[in-house]
Amino acid sequence: MTAYRVEVRVMPRATLLDPQGQAVERALHALGFEVGRVRVGKHLELDVEAANGEEAAARARAMCDRLLANPVTEDFAVAVRTA
Amino acid sequence: MSRRVAVVVFPGSNCDADTLAAARDAGSDAYYVWHRDTDLQRADVVILPGGFSYGDYLRSGAIARFSPVMRAVVTHAREGGHVLGICNGFQILCEAGLLPGGLVRNARLRFLSRPVRVRVESTDTPFTSRYATGDVLEIPIAHGDGRYVVDPRTAAELEAGAQVVWRYAGDNPNGSTNDIAGVCNAARNVVGLMPHPERRVAPVIGGSDGTRVFQSMEASHATQHAGDVRAVGDRHLRV
């Protein structure tokens, strides 16, 4: 078994209005930064013991399906690295 | 006989007492069920009240839907039992997959706590039968995550199947799809809404526009009871 750090990124669905992202975008413009569209999501770090990276990713995806992301409103992506 | 109404209490529920009182005022035999309980005590109706279950961590309702009691609530719903989710209860029902769609941050971000006008769009549910279609009510909202979202295909199905039960009238406070304030499932036994009818059940607290939600619930017992008696030959059998 190997210790993995799984990073999960949960983002609001691209088709949905993201008012948080818009508010941050406006704040950045107000500060003089040049920036296009901003979207705000969540980042989770999971410490997982697994036989290999694929297994760690599969478990993290199962966690996303069940709890960490809502498929109606959010999309997720999983990245694995050794801890 | 009064209907037995289980008001589920999650850690962070804060409309449970008002909801219990509103149900009792309508004549129901209402009682609390703790979220760790697995027995609904022969409930006819389950109400998931408003509040901030589990502090809204992760997403509103996301953790509450895995509370031990929810297994019994899902079974109750699948068997055709009546379920009402108010505000956070609506969010939990969506997270649990008992209602379509989801509730996300208000379009203008701000937490909204004020009366809104909602129109009754369907009276064919256990919680709206005592209203008339088109009735416009004044009922308070109190939510940060009240924007109902659903994919376009499901939205069309909801409209076609008359599953939109309440719609914001005039002003849409949170940017919800098609001004939706409340929906029911296809079987019409599970209903969720963002406004708080339990906060409008007496003139002294600002009005009585919410009273008929609880009266409908109590009255649907009589309807259901009548439906249970089926004529077979020249006899009436209770089934």
Mutate to test the interface with A, among B66, B104, B106, B145 (most CBs of A within 10 A): B104
B192 has which bridge partners? B85, B183
The per-residue pLDDT for A83 is 78
Q: Where are the domains of chain B?
A: 4-238
Average pLDDT over residues A33-61: 96
The CATH number that domain B4-238 falls under is 3.40.50.880
Out of B87, B95, B184, B218, the active site residue is: B87
Which residues 16-35 on chain A approach chain B with CB closer than 8 angstroms? 16-17, 19-20, 23
Checking if the pLDDT of B194 tops 60, the result is yes
Average pLDDT over chain B, rounded to whole? Answer: 92
Q: Which comes out higher in pLDDT, residue B97 or B231?
A: B97
Average pLDDT over chain A, rounded to whole? Answer: 96
CATH class of A2-82: alpha beta
CB–CB of A72 and B59 under 8 A?
Answer: no
The per-residue pLDDT for A61 is 97
Average pLDDT over residues B55-84: 95
Burial of B80 (0-12, 13-18, 19+ CB in 10 A): exposed
d(CA B97, CA B102): 9
| Angular region, B37: left φ>0, alpha ψ -120 to 50, beta rest | beta
d(CA B183, CA B159): 10
Q: Which helix (H) or strand (E) holds B88?
A: helix B88-95
The per-residue pLDDT for B133 is 97
User: What predicted TM-score, i.e. pTM, was given to this entire model?
Assistant: 0.91
Whether B196 sits among the annotated catalytic residues: the reply is: yes
Q: Say which of A20, A23, A73 has its CB closest to residue B149.
A: A73
Q: Does A72 touch chain B (CB under 8 A)?
A: yes
CB–CB of B66 and A67 under 8 A?
Answer: yes
The per-residue pLDDT for B226 is 43
- Smallest CA–CA separation between B28 and chain A, in Å? 35
